[in-house]
Structure 1
């Protein structure tokens, strides 16, 4: 039985070549709590929107601030995390009115390590809308994360009490 890298989709070979490596690099960069490079921001369009639960961030600066408020290697509340990618589903449709636009759904699992050392596990799904920058490069105009955050939020609340 062979194992695969956590950041490679189970159906990686069926994902369009201009998306697969970019998605993997984005999620790996999001999980890198020690990097100051913020490479994950290069996947987002300058005015892209990230929705995480009830919180929405529009634009790269707001997306960075949202992540920084959740994930920090010493201040937390999340000090470490790791995604395991499941599958990527490229949605059918398009047509002339949607040229230069690609919609996908991805799924997988994630663990969060809180600053008190506790790990919380969850499954996730994400819906993403990519648009062509005009140079053949795709960037996320919209990215919404769906996950049951009850365990994560409860663990953070207990940690803060």
Structure 2
């Protein structure tokens, strides 16, 4: 979505807060996880690593996504760890067939875990707070005006002109 540049009407806010407003929320999703990746020690180690990497960053990487199912149900007030979510490896058709016949597949005894976790992740991402694009209501007419100005600015940029020149 195009975000127009607007001045803040609230003079008490500092410029660093205005800049931080435009940063996206990061969600780290690790897929194809083995059963060992779900151990509390490994999840804690991943969280500590992400905290160490993003300590001085202004990116929003904490607070909304968690492997804890109670987060999705609203039982916990605020999760303070990084937005980290793990998804297990999808089983092959042969492994699914063996599971449905009753033969246990080592390490994957819980049947619909991928589907449950994927729906939990979808629920949590969908319930993340949404920020307004502007401080005033944005109508279709205003959005079109901002997008036209942005397109004109992009056409005048050196990168776009160079890219257009290289196209056949």
**TM-score bucket (shorter structure):** under 0.3
Higher relative contact order (CA 8 A, sep 6+): 2
- Per the normalisation by structure 1, the TM-score is 0.21
- Per the normalisation by structure 2, the TM-score is 0.21
